[in-house]
Chain A
Amino acid sequence: MRTLLSVLLTAGCTPALAALNIFACTPEWGALAKELAGDRARIFVATTAQQDPHRIEARPSLLARARTADLVVCTGADLEAGWLPLLQTGAGNPRIQAGQPGYFEAAAAVTLIERPASLDRAHGDVHAAGNPHLHLHPRNVAAVAAALAQRMAELDPKEALHYRARADGFLRRWREATARWEAHGARLRGTAVIVHHRDLAYLVAWLGLREAGALEPRPGIAPSAAHLSELIALTKREPVKAIVRSAYSDARPAEWLSAQTGIPAVVLPYTVGGTPAARDLFGLFDDTLARLLAVAG
């Protein structure tokens, strides 16, 4: 009887080992939370790298996880506008409401680029707060990491030192890696590319790539035949080295253009898990650079 009781008690106590229940909207923030919290958190990642972050549904499993989350880590800037509000209103969890410490927006820690001067959907699916695909610039990742570690410490003050130490360690390794990427990526500066969507804008800006054109005539608008033929004409005028798209996007427009022009189509992981090599945030940038350098010549 006593053994049974003690077994039951221990079983009841085990979840207390993981201090924070973290709900990450996208794989990059799940990976970052893992770097910062280590085994102090139970992390659930709501989406995979194969899913278009603009087109996620508030499926039942997400509601269930949002119910028990202590901290929701999302991009913000309207990227999750189509599904996160449903989790916030439907999960019955006061901790993750906007304005609460349990709701963390990465976009609040960095300065967004491409904030539209005028808001009109005639320009496509524009984001009012600016381009939300901010994690493809290492400096943004570092800024978000610092802010997120602080938030974790705030939510789990007993372990504040743990988060701080892990953040210091991560940021040190991240700085070293960033220096390495920037050194290797230096020869990409000025390379002309055609992108699929504006989701690579931060990467383009960081590496100094030149975006010669985009497969989507406007954000979120599918490439039309007329637009694709314009791009063919463009490749004849300009020395475009690659047609770049994210792993989750439709492969056909990029492959079609590649077949027509002979310019290599490059699939970038976009986020952690997008390619086999992008196992974590370091792998994400390593692989992104390797794939770009392979075609830059």
Chain B
Amino acid sequence: MLRVVCCAAAFGAASFVHAQNPELDQLRNELKKLQLRIEEIEKRQSPPAPQAPAAKPVNPESAFNPGITLILQGTAARSSRDPEQYRISGFAPSGGEVAPPGRGFSLGESELVVGGNIDPYFRGNLVAALTPENEVEVEEAYVQTLRLGQGFTLKGGRFLSGIGYQNEIHQHAWDFQDAPLAYKAFLGGRLSDDGVQLRWIAPSDLFVELGTELGRGRSFPDTERTRNGAAAWSVFGRIGGDVGTAAWRAGLSFLRASPQGRSFEDVDSLGTAVTQDFTGRSRLWIADAVVKWSKLKLQGEYFRRRESGTLGYDDTAGSAAFGAVSGDYASRQSGWYAQAVYEFMPRWRAGARYDRLSRGEVSNAIIASGLGPASGDFPLLMSDHDPRRTSLMVDWSPTEFSRLRLQWANDRSAEGMADRQVLLQYIHTLGAHGAHRF
């Protein structure tokens, strides 16, 4: 429209050229003004106003569905020792799922992850594991705050504890099929409790995070019991940052638990059944460090535990040679692992891990008294063996949603026995694109 007016004006101006010069100047000025206006309007119009994206037709009932992710996994395994008999010598059984995968084909846990924002203030998350034994296990079910501010986040419900490095990572995101020996021996695979967690991130360019948890003491090293208030307490702190193109994180965690009658089955020197239990205090320190640089990931953690209290020995159900006796018990044990994973070509990774546990110092008053059971009657606890394991793996991920892994391990967890394990694992993820922790 404006262009037409402008052209008409220009044409008009041209036809008067020879007649009146003052009018020509005036017209010229007007023409200039019009041109400027056009430019201005064009400027305002460009870039063209973005079209509002067409509203997606949604079903009002499903529009607010949370994100759902399903993880399918399974293994085909071969081991030289029966996984049912798996023990870590020198360490009380943790009751967790620490045994290597069963021989032959076996389904892993199918994990169903459902999560989303509840409202502007809270976010909720559920991780349910459908176990191969046809049970449903609630791995995590928590709500967390989004708007507490000042770097604080409060989480409540059941959740994987923030201690250590690998503890908070779900199994399907691990670099090896199974947990490090230290996790198996000291935390029953991992620590997951019912309770509350408070985290704080410092307002600095260096990553500094502090956190504390109060828990029910649902799982190893604690024992569940009826009590008002919290049983287990933990605190953790970590720092992290970048060095060039490498990212690093280092942390220190402390867990205090007070197990009451934490019992397990063992045998005496004659092979008859014995029940042992521990009541006392358990203090665990974990130091962890992770470095990721280009295609290389290095990870290591060191565990140190002190337990002191009373150990009970009861063979009344078996040989009844000593009956039920008890005595003071104290231990200082440690363990560590270090692993490296390298992406040697796109979608292909190889990794190696070395695990070692140190039985450390154990003082057992029952044996020291010399009147009751002897060292040989505690084949598990008094075993003089430092468990160790070497694992190697190669995995291939055609996309970020699927992964196949071949893993080999020489596991010397039990005294005098080398267990050679080979397994093939698949991990497949469907549904919402999950976010993975560092």
Q: Report the minimal beta-carbon distance from A134 to chain B, rounded to whole angstroms.
A: 11
Asked whether A64 lies within 8 Å of B435 as measured between CB atoms, the reply is: no
Q: Which of A44-58 contact B (CB under 8 A)?
A: 48, 54-55, 57-58
- Given A91-B151, A92-B149, A250-B346, CB of A55 within 8 Å of CB of B437: no
Smallest CB-CB separation from B251: which chain A residue? A60
Smallest CB-CB separation from A147: which chain B residue? B50
Chain A residues, Cβ within 8 Å of B400: 54-55, 82, 125, 220
A61 at the interface (CB under 8 A from B): yes
Complex Cα–Cα for A112 and B50 (A): 10
Q: Among the listed stretches B74-82, B140-148, B322-330, B362-370, which one makes contact with chain A, having 4 or more residues with CB under 8 Å of it?
A: B140-148
Complex Cα–Cα for A64 and B249 (A): 12
Give the contacting residue for A97; candidates B43, B120, B292; CB below 8 A. B120
Asked whether B433 lies within 8 Å of A78 as measured between CB atoms, the reply is: yes
Smallest CB-CB separation from A175: which chain B residue? B46
Asked whether B292 lies within 8 Å of A57 as measured between CB atoms, the reply is: yes
Asked whether B208 lies within 8 Å of A64 as measured between CB atoms, the reply is: yes
Chain A residues, Cβ within 8 Å of B43: 172, 175
Complex Cα–Cα for A175 and B40 (A): 13
With most chain A CB atoms within 10 A of its CB, the pick from B46, B205, B249, B433 is: B433
Complex Cα–Cα for A89 and B199 (A): 11
Asked whether A64 lies within 8 Å of B401 as measured between CB atoms, the reply is: no
Enumerate 21 A-B pairs (CB-CB under 8 Å) in ascending A order: A54-B400, A55-B400, A59-B240, A60-B238, A61-B205, A61-B240, A63-B209, A68-B203, A81-B435, A89-B123, A91-B201, A92-B153, A92-B200, A92-B201, A94-B148, A97-B147, A125-B400, A139-B48, A172-B43, A220-B400, A221-B398
State the 5 A-B residue pairs at the shortest beta-carbon distance, nearest first.
A60-B240, A60-B207, A94-B147, A64-B207, A59-B247
Q: Mark B237-281, 1 if CB is under 8 A from A, else 0.
A: 011111001011100000000000000000000000000000000
Number of interface residues of A (CB under 8 A): 48
Chain A residues, Cβ within 8 Å of B205: 61, 64-65
Asked whether B204 lies within 8 Å of A58 as measured between CB atoms, the reply is: no
Complex Cα–Cα for A117 and B51 (A): 19
With most chain B CB atoms within 10 A of its CB, the pick from A92, A93, A220 is: A92
Q: Report the minimal beta-carbon distance from B178 to chain A, rounded to whole angstroms.
A: 23
- Given A78-B433, A92-B199, A143-B47, CB of A125 within 8 Å of CB of B399: yes
B302 at the interface (CB under 8 A from A): no
With most chain A CB atoms within 10 A of its CB, the pick from B47, B152, B153, B200 is: B47
- Given A90-B153, A221-B399, CB of A61 within 8 Å of CB of B247: yes
Asked whether A59 lies within 8 Å of B435 as measured between CB atoms, the reply is: no
B57 at the interface (CB under 8 A from A): no
Q: Which of B313-372 contact A (CB under 8 A)?
A: 346-347
Chain B residues, Cβ within 8 Å of A65: 205
Give the contacting residue for A89; candidates B47, B146, B430; CB below 8 A. B146
Asked whether B201 lies within 8 Å of A63 as measured between CB atoms, the reply is: yes
What number of A-B contacts does a CB cutoff of 8 Å give?
Answer: 130
B223 at the interface (CB under 8 A from A): no
Give the contacting residue for A94; candidates B149, B398, B433; CB below 8 A. B149
Q: Other than A59-B292, A111-B50, give 20 A-B pairs with Cβ distance below 8 A.
A: A57-B438, A59-B249, A60-B239, A61-B205, A61-B247, A63-B209, A64-B202, A78-B433, A88-B146, A89-B123, A89-B146, A92-B152, A110-B50, A112-B53, A121-B399, A124-B399, A125-B401, A175-B43, A221-B399, A222-B346
Chain A residues, Cβ within 8 Å of B239: 60
Q: Mark B47-91, 1 if CB is under 8 A from A, else 0.
A: 110110100000000000000000000000000000000000000
Q: Which of B112-149 contact A (CB under 8 A)?
A: 117, 120, 123, 144, 146-149
B150 at the interface (CB under 8 A from A): yes
Chain A residues, Cβ within 8 Å of B207: 60-61, 63-64
Q: Mark B142-173, 1 if CB is under 8 A from A, else 0.
A: 00101111111100000000000000000000
Q: Mark A157-193, 1 if CB is under 8 A from B, else 0.
A: 0000000000000011001000000000000000000
Complex Cα–Cα for A121 and B402 (A): 11
Q: Which of B406-438 contact A (CB under 8 A)?
A: 430, 433-438
Complex Cα–Cα for A88 and B146 (A): 8
